[in-house]
Structure 1
Amino acid sequence: MKALVLSGGAGTRLRPITHTSAKQLVPVANKPVLFYGLESIAAAGITEVGMIVGETAEEIQEAVGDGSQFGLKVTYIPQEKPLGLAHAVLIAREYLGDDDFVMYLGDNFIVGGIADLVEEFRTNRPDAQILLTQVPDPRAFGVAELDPSGQVVGLEEKPQQPKSDLALVGVYLFTPAIHDAVRSIEPSWRGELEITHAIQHLIDASAEVRSTVIKGYWKDTGNVTDMLEVNRTVLETMERRIDGEVDEASETIGRVVIEKGVRITNSRIVGPVVIAAGSEVSDSYVGPFTSVAENCRIADSELEFSIVLRDSSIRGVGRIEASLIGRHVEVTPAPVVPSAHRFVLGDHSKVQIRS
């Protein structure tokens, strides 16, 4: 069994971060979200991975390499444009051959991994197996319709009037039957080959399509809100570890990870928090659900429920929260400007000013 990992896409919902970085490499708890997926694939006993890459191919290849750091063998498959998930399957046909495979969206995050799912698929071997989860607003997702027995009877891509609240999670398992399906469908109104249409083609051809409704945690990390939420979830699983320097005037509380090479002076760190090597925190407060990457500087500031990427500095700006701060960013106070009012008032005007 192989894996097909999708790591193309522009990441428009994470701009401006993704103007200069692949969305799959934005870190969660100081580790790229893509790496969590690759670790899950390896833990499921899969070693051969085809990785779909686009405009950010060079950055992805530099980060992942040949896959050996994960116990994987990675083959890169270029995709000129993000033309849909089914298009990714189409261009990976030669690599996949006649093997079963799991397709994993590189910006998705699933707590607990996929080992049990892969084992279930290997045991039963339906033509396709999809993961579903209940969501409050299914209009932003592919949506599944089940009959009373739980059988998948229909799939829709981002419907305006969803027939259920069950969204497709970004992990799919297929036999080679999917290859005929992706060749048989036409582009959607979005100009993309939709994987939901390919799976619907299987359903219409009386192929066996199974579904599993997951109860665990899943997020598509395509926007800042979800990225911060995933960061919170991962940080809650970390164990306290202090390897860096913390002076006597500082206080660390709870699940705090201070890596070697970090200096904390006259500050209060309340976990869960992770601060990466080379960073310095002085005269500051770093609060729960915050990750600070390598070589950052935080001085005379408060930071909570945020992600700070490497080589950035935050100095003298009071409180920051629920923020995603990119690489090589400088956050400083604005210059003090005297308060004043300017008017052009006509005759007989009346003006009230709150002092």
Structure 2
Amino acid sequence: MSTPPSTPPSDSSAPSAAPTITTAVVLARGLGTRMRAEGGAALTAEQAAAASSGHKALMPIGGHRLIDFSLSALADAGIRRAVLVVAPEHEEFTRHLADLAPSRLEVLLAVQEEPRGTADAVASAREAVGEVPFVMVNGDNLYPGDGVRRLLQEPGSALLGFERSALLRESNIPADRIAAFALIEQEDGRLERIVEKPDAETLEAAGPDALVSMNCFAFTPEIFEACARIQPSPRGELEIVDAVRELGEMRVIPFAGGVLDLSRREDIDEVERRLAGVEVAL
């Protein structure tokens, strides 16, 4: 897959050895509340229908859907099996995957019965994943291949930490949205804590190159037991961040690069522009 315009350039330091991890879990169950909200963005009829349904991963982008680009990039990185976490009403996903007929990787569906949070979404994939390590990514984000390849080399749990200045420079995400993303605190490459929704004082103290979490993790099967131990957060959801706190240790991999985000209607035009000419190989 060729590199999208205005996305991170190739990193010659990226590992070339065979990946340790070949399974990915893609969280595609979200309610899409922000995407459903009416906005001033000019959309095609197909895009408007996808936005109204909240199925961000199925958003038409050029001649493809967003999930096509994600699966193609994961296959480029070394993934050979992808588990999409979806809602019980997943007929559109089923039809689309049948039309795609991917041969570079196996694509499975795992049903999350209720939208009970990211940790519950991961737990829903347990049977499909089995007892193997995997990477977890958001279905409405497109991650840089060099960063994902680094995660695939990890023998244990790890988190890709994006430098905030690089996200501002190379992503399509506005500064105010990035300012609300969780900050990663680490020492000697080990995760100390994840600070969700940092206030202005915390952001200033962290500095422009503070590491930001974009929900790009490598997990061992231990995460499933961690997901089972946690309680709902104050907003009533089972959060992957709380499950991460249950793990004994997690490495942090700093990365200077951008992420394409498709969480709102106004994101669609810019994501489509940056993906123009990008080849999808499935």
TM-score clears 0.5? yes
Matches within 5 A, 1:153-168: 153-160=192-199, 162=202, 164=206, 165-168=210-213
Provide closer, same or farther for how the CA distance between residues 230 and 66 of structure 1 changes in structure 2, counting only shifts above 3 A: closer
Higher relative contact order (CA 8 A, sep 6+): 2
1:220 is matched with: 261
Identity, % of aligned pairs?
Answer: 32
RMSD: 2.6
Tell me the residue number matched to 1:132.
Answer: 162
Report the 3-state secondary structure (helix = DSSP H, G, I; strand = E; otherwise coil) of the residue aligned with 2:102. helix
Cross-structure match for 1:300:
none
The residue aligned with 1:74 is 107
CA contact (8 A) 1:133 1:169 kept: no
| Residues in 2 aligned to 1:139 and 1:110: alpha-carbon distance in whole angstroms | 19
**Which structure has the highest helix share of the two?**
2
2:75 alignment counterpart? 42
What does the per-residue CA deviation read over 1:318-354, in whole Å, with 9 as the maximum and x for residues that have no partner?
xxxxxxxxxxxxxxxxxxxxxxxxxxxxxxxxxxxxx
CA 1:98–1:25 in structure 2 vs 1: closer, same or farther (change >3 Å)? same
1:13 pairs with 12, 34, 46, which one?
Answer: 34
Instruction: Report 1:324-335 matches (<5 A).
Output: none
Structure richer in strand, relative to its length: 1
Which of 13, 19, 24 matches 1:3?
24
1:189-215 deviation digits (Å, cap 9, x = unpaired)? 11111111111222xx3x2x1122322
Partners of 1:238 and 1:74 lie apart in 2 by 21
Task: Name structure 2 gaps, 5 residues minimum.
Answer: 1-21, 39-47, 168-174
1:4–1:102 CA contact under 8 A, matched in 2:
yes
Q: Which has the larger radius of gyration?
A: 1
Letter aligned with residue 231 of structure 1: E
Cα contact 1:132–1:211 (8 A) shared by 2: no
The alpha carbon displacement at 1:107 in A equals: 0.9
CA distance in 1: counterparts of 2:215 and 2:104, whole angstroms = 22
Query: In 2, distance between residues paired with 1:130 and 1:76?
Result: 25
Structure 2 partner of 1:170: 215
Paired residue total? 230
1:188 matched to 2:233: yes
Matched to 1:85, the amino acid is T
Gaps of 5+ in 1: 240-355
- Give the 3-state SS of the residue equivalent to 1:171 in structure 2: strand
TM-score where L is the length of structure 1: 0.58
Residue aligned with 1:65, SS: helix
Report the TM-score when normalising by structure 2.
Answer: 0.71
